[in-house]
Amino acid sequence: MNRLFWRFALLVLLAIALGSGVIYVTFSRLFGDPLEHIARDQAAGQIFLLEQYIDQAPADEWLPRLNKVREVSDVTLELQPLAAVLAALPATQRAPLLQGAVVMDVGGKGFYRRVDVTGARYAGSDDDVLHAQKLPIDVGQALRMEAIRFAVIALCLLLPLGWWTRAHGRSLAALSRMADDFGQGDLAARARVRPGSSIAPLAGRINDMAGRIGSLLEARKHLLLSVSHELRTPIARLEFGLELLAARHAEGQPDLQRRVDAMGADIEELKTLVNELLGLMQLDHAQALPRQSFALAPLLHACLAAALPRQVDAGIGADLGELRGDPRLLARAVGNLLGNAAKYAVARVALSAVRDGEVLRIVIDDDGPGIPAGQRERVFAPFYRLEREQDHAAAGHGLGLAIAARAVALHGGAIAIDDSPLGGARFTICIRP
């Protein structure tokens, strides 16, 4: 059974319970208490005996007939003062009793009825009430029968509902699996739904949409890859041309040499941008990592040694163990975060790593300006840069954090941004090996 069935089942049961309550209240308002009607039906034999045998007796035979019924019946028949009975009855039952009607006592399994309204039976008969007790009244049995009836109705509703939700749930599960697979990069994922399913039209539209999205993503991928590869050739020619220009004409011309050096720096920046674009495209369309086991501590020490011109405060635990994944890719993610910290730090950058049970945490702190809370999610978007002077002054294209986030995600982790104790930003990589 699925959650859809249990939700529908709960709704059906609530609807039956609510409907029963509404019916009870409505019938009570219009026709009186249904429980009283049930008790009256169960006591119908004794009421008939009273009205047709005892009441039909002449005045001088009324008491003898009452005594005769007492002798042969299990029902207790007592005469009680009218005033005492009126004091004990609810206000709604006093008027019917005074008018000579049978008033049911459901809880006491009996009923009350005036002996005589006109005083014609015997002296004082108009001040007496006949109280019948020990009647064969069992309201609980009637309620149990009603409960069984409602249970059968609910079961008859839930059986076809269960069959429908089972088939419906399978179709929804197929859509959910397709959405998960498609979101993880499997552009060929499609929902397999029976043509007769109620959500088959929806599944068809989603499959069509997935096909169009896949085609667009593939077209974008090929376009960017083609453009990036094509850019490498003119960049290489520009590098070669600058080298020739510097060798033949820049010697002894400081101004020309400075110009050549500036153009060389621009070309290096362009090469970096192209390489980062290619790297990001490869990560965006990666469906699986080339996995291997590697030690974490040596990898982090290598990142510290290779990445930064400034000293980094390191606190790398010795018991980090191993991780299964792509060490080159994870090293790039850590290196990008360290490079970002170095760009904005005033004087201090710190890296620490601990293993807390099944969770690996790599923390990078800096004492820079930090990142506003409202923009912490957007900094992982490609080409996004904060609107502040430090970001426009610092070198980069806004791809380093996007590459780091994607690389960590491919290892089953995520990157969180908080305020650092050093005063700047804290980037925390959390991975469950």
Helices (H), 133-286: 139-183, 200-245, 254-284
| Claim to verify: residue 302 and residue 279 sit in the same structural domain | no
Cα(103)–Cα(38) distance, rounded to whole angstroms?
A: 13
Task: Determine if the pTM surpasses 0.75.
Answer: no
The answer to whether the Cα torsion of 170, 175, 181, 186 is positive or negative is positive
Closest CA relative to residue 262, chosen from 248, 242, 244: 242
Q: How many domains does the chain have?
A: 3
- Of 245, 261, 284, the residue at which a domain comes to its end is 284
Does pLDDT of 289 surpass 60?
A: no
Q: Residue 2: what pLDDT?
A: 62
The percent of residues above 90 in pLDDT, for the chain, comes to 2
pLDDT at 143 over 80: no
- Residue 284: predicted pLDDT: 60
Lowest mean pLDDT of 65-69, 178-182, 268-272, 375-379, name the range.
Answer: 268-272
> Does 184 reside within a domain?
no
Q: How far apart are CA 159 and CA 12, in angstroms?
A: 12
Q: For residues 195 and 181, give the distance between their C-alpha atoms in angstroms, rounded to a whole number.
A: 22
**Spatial CA neighbour of 291 closest among 336, 329, 319, 320:** 329
Whether residue 361 is found in the same domain as residue 405: yes
CA distances to 81, 210, 358, 384 from 217, rounded to whole Å, are 94, 10, 35, 20
With respect to residue 76, please indicate whether it lies within any of the assigned structural domains. Answer: yes
pLDDT at position 170 is 76
11 shares its domain with 85: yes
**Of 141, 163, 178, which closes a domain?**
141
Q: Are residues 298 and 427 in the same domain?
A: yes
In the sheet with 110-114, reading across from the earlier edge strand, the strands are 76-81, 128-133, 110-114, 103-105
Question: Of 14 and 112, which is predicted with more confidence?
Answer: 112
Asked if residue 60 has pLDDT above 80, the reply is yes
Which pLDDT belongs to residue 426?
92
Its domain, for residue 270, covers 203-284
Say which CATH number the domain at 325 has: 3.30.565.10
State whether 116 and 32 are in the same domain.
Answer: yes
Q: How is residue 320 annotated by DSSP?
A: -
Q: What is the pLDDT of residue 42?
A: 80
Indicate the residue among 263, 284, 305 that finishes a domain. 284
pLDDT band at 251 (very low <50, low <70, confident <90, very high): low
Residue 324 has pLDDT above 80, yes or no: yes
Asked if residue 81 has pLDDT above 90, the reply is: yes
Looking at the structure, tell me whether residues 119 and 26 fall in a common domain: yes
Same domain, 267 and 299: no
- In this structure, are 264 and 324 located in the same domain? no
Residue-wise pLDDT tens digits, 160-207 = 777 777 777 777 778 778 887 777 667 778 888 777 777 778 888 888
Report pLDDT for 393: 45
CATH code, domain with 246: 1.10.287.130
306 & 424 share domain: yes
The answer to the question of residue 191 being in a domain is no
Residue 347 shares a structural domain with residue 258: no
**Domain shared by 323 and 341, yes or no:** yes
CB within 8 A of 164, min separation 6: which ones?
Answer: none
Q: What average pLDDT is seen over the chain?
A: 79
Stretch 3-31: mean pLDDT: 73
